[in-house]
Amino acid sequence: MDWTPAPRRPTAIRRQQNLALLSAVVSGGVVAGGLILLLLARVNPDTAAGLRRTTADLVAPTWAVLRAPVDGLAALAEGIGDYFGAIDRARHLETELDTANARLRAARAGMEELRRLKALMRVRSPQREVVATARIAAATTGTVVRTAMLAVGTSDGVGEAMPVIGAEGLIGRTTEVGRNAARVLLITDPLSRVPVIVERTGQVGLAAGRNQPTLQLIDLSGATIPLVTGDRVVTSGDGGVYPPGVPVATVVDARAAAPVLRPAARLLGAGFVTVETAWLPVPATEPQGPVFDAPVPVEARRRGAPTPRLRDADAPPISNGTGG
Amino acid sequence: MIAPPPPPALLMTPQERRRWLLSTWRYAVPMLVSLLLLLLMVMPVPLSVPAMPQLGLMAVLAWALLQPSLMPPWLAFCIGGFADLLFGLPLGVNATAFALITGLMRLMAPLFGRSGLMVDWLMLCLLLLLFAGLVGPLMALAGRPVPLLPLLLQWLTSILSWPLVARFCAAIQRRLAASAPSWRAG
């Protein structure tokens, strides 16, 4: 298979042997280095986050440009497909519109009542705010993760942990954001957990991805009403990232131990997606109040060890409970 | 032979040296082709199943077979590292797996090209299966265990697309070999 001819001069043979030995040593070294990198990633998952951001910055705009002709072809094919069966579709839509209008009239009264009740109770609800609208520029459709890239980044106001919503439903959330690119964790990724509520029964749970086309509904709690196929699942607004009421999925298999859901949106379809601000501000994870230099066990304190010093000089002195 | 080894530098005429410098890009072709196929893997295909074949790994393996000296395991490690950055994986998963599989390919290379294409394909299927089996534990080592079923699906699409990738790389090799410069004038 190898087309390179074997060397014939003794010096060339020796040189090739030396190079082969060096290459083997370096290869063993890099494999060991790779394992060390993995251990580093285990201890600190943010290792190389900056490098990943830079790569996304470089790749996402490229694909955003390259995909334009593909999109054009897809739109053309869709247009041809639309041409056939347009009349049937129009009739179907008209009947659907009639029923929807009837339902809307009934709902309008309810909406007004709800608005008045909310005003009466002084309910304050945050507003949804769209930060950016973009197409999915690139996506990993084959590896162990399910992420997509958008060609918008910090220069457009996009930050980390922002919900990404498509026309038909939830797509995912942003994880790593560079200047011109953002990585989106799709809801089908094994790491993704979306707090959801079942519309019909009011049970809350988590829609968990598993790197398959479907999701799983786990940690279901609430009244024990059996789910049926076709139940709609929407975001509940818990956790603060996703705004409530966004369609996530429908139940396709209610009998499994963990009900199986089908996502409402085509995750990598050609449509546009919007990035919104996080529904509620992410709570501060920095510890509040005084911070001690090092914890001193109660037993040691009983024997006369000095009390731990405060790291923050401005913090108010607290009375340490000697005697436990 | 897509990039012939140069004559000793001191014996080169300036003209030969210029030609040699202008043709050094040929040494990078295997790496560039592998990177290109990696970029192709993040093409936004509206597929709901994780079915994109491992084009990058297969390109690396094809070059390890065709031009072992231009695709050593440490270079496969670098390409795998780029794949990690591209796919948003913990740095080192694909890198380690690429390097190990390429090293294995190097050891198995004498077996290839002797017993017909089907046997070659079968051996490659085993290598790719080993890769799929390797990624799971490596991800677990990085603290992010993954389900195994999608990896097997990707394995299936990969073995189906191997002939395409192998032909693509072989065509590039043929084209480069036909235009490889020779240093000695006349």
- Taking a contact as any Cβ pair under 8 Å apart, which residues of chain B between 61 and 90 contact chain A? 65-69, 72-74, 77, 80, 82, 84-90
Identify which of A26, A45, A144 has the shortest CB distance to residue B135.
A144
Q: What is residue A256's predicted lDDT score, i.e. its pLDDT?
A: 84
Which residues share a beta bridge with A208?
A193, A216
d(CA B141, CA A198): 36
Q: H or E element: which one contains A112? A: helix A86-121
Q: What is residue A262's predicted lDDT score, i.e. its pLDDT?
A: 92
Q: What is residue B29's predicted lDDT score, i.e. its pLDDT?
A: 94
Residue of B nearest to A265 (CA): B48
Higher pLDDT, B2 or A152: A152
Identify which of A47, A190, A268 has the shortest CB distance to residue B45.
A268
| Structure tokens, A228 | 């049926």
Q: Flag whether residue A63 sits within 8 Å of chain B, measured between CB atoms.
A: yes
Pairing label, strands A260-263, A247-253: antiparallel
Tokens 């009349």 correspond to what residue?
A87
Residue of B nearest to A211 (CA): B150
Q: Are A279 and A243 in contact (CB under 8 A)?
A: yes
Q: Flag whether residue B41 sits within 8 Å of chain A, measured between CB atoms.
A: yes
| Phi/psi-derived region of residue A58, left when phi > 0, alpha when psi is between -120 and 50, beta in every other case | alpha
Average pLDDT over residues B142-168: 88
Q: What is residue A324's predicted lDDT score, i.e. its pLDDT?
A: 40
Residue of A nearest to B45 (CA): A268
DSSP state at residue A156: G
Q: What is residue B186's predicted lDDT score, i.e. its pLDDT?
A: 40
Identify which of B45, B95, B147 has the shortest CB distance to residue A141.
B45
Q: Give burial (CB, 10 Å; 0-12/13-18/19+) of B147.
A: middle
Q: Are A138 and A148 in contact (CB under 8 A)?
A: yes
Q: What is residue A28's predicted lDDT score, i.e. its pLDDT?
A: 92
Average pLDDT over residues B48-77: 90
User: What is the full per-residue pLDDT of chain A (324 aa) written as tens digits?
Assistant: 677 777 788 888 888 889 889 988 999 999 999 999 998 888 887 778 888 888 888 888 888 787 777 777 777 877 787 777 788 888 999 999 999 999 998 898 888 888 888 888 877 777 788 999 988 888 877 667 788 888 899 998 999 889 999 888 999 999 989 888 999 999 988 889 999 999 888 899 999 998 888 899 998 888 888 899 989 999 998 888 899 889 999 999 988 888 999 999 888 765 789 999 988 866 666 656 556 666 677 777 788 777 766 665 454 555 554 444
Average pLDDT over residues B77-97: 92
DSSP state at residue A199: T
> Cα dist. A26→A6, A19, B74, B98, B175 in Å?
22, 10, 7, 14, 31
Identify which of A39, A149, A175 has the shortest CB distance to residue B141.
A39
d(CA A165, CA A187): 11
Among A184, A194, A185, A208, CA closest to A247: A194
Average pLDDT over residues B147-169: 90
pLDDT by residue (tens digit) across A267-304? 876 578 999 998 886 666 665 655 666 667 777 778 87
Rounded mean pLDDT of chain B? 88
Q: What is residue A312's predicted lDDT score, i.e. its pLDDT?
A: 56
CB contact under 8 A, A211 and B100: no
d(CA A18, CA A8): 15
Query: pLDDT tier at B123 (50, 70, 90 boundaries)?
Result: very high
Q: Flag whether residue A69 sits within 8 Å of chain B, measured between CB atoms.
A: no
Q: What is residue B35's predicted lDDT score, i.e. its pLDDT?
A: 95
Residue A192: CA count within 13 A, CB half-sphere: 34
CB contact under 8 A, B91 and A48: yes
Kindly report the CATH number that applies to the domain delimited by A47-84+125-280.
2.40.10.340
Sequence spans of domains, chain A:
47-84+125-280
- Which pTM was predicted? 0.74
| Phi/psi-derived region of residue A245, left when phi > 0, alpha when psi is between -120 and 50, beta in every other case | left
Identify which of A26, A142, A213 has the shortest CB distance to residue B54.
A142
Chain A residues whose beta carbon lies within 8 Å of the beta carbon of residue B136: 144
Q: For residue A119, give the 3-state DSSP assignment.
A: helix
| Close Cβ partners of A204 (under 8 Å, ≥ 6 residues apart) | A195, A196, A197, A198, A220, A221, A222, A236, A238
| Structure tokens, A153 | 């980044």
Best B49, B61, B85, B155 residue to mutate vs chain A (most A CBs within 10 Å): B85
d(CA A24, CA B74): 9
Q: Flag whether residue B173 sits within 8 Å of chain A, measured between CB atoms.
A: yes
Among B132, B41, B27, CA closest to B71: B27
Q: What is residue A121's predicted lDDT score, i.e. its pLDDT?
A: 81
Residue type, B176: L
Sequence spans of domains, chain B:
51-178
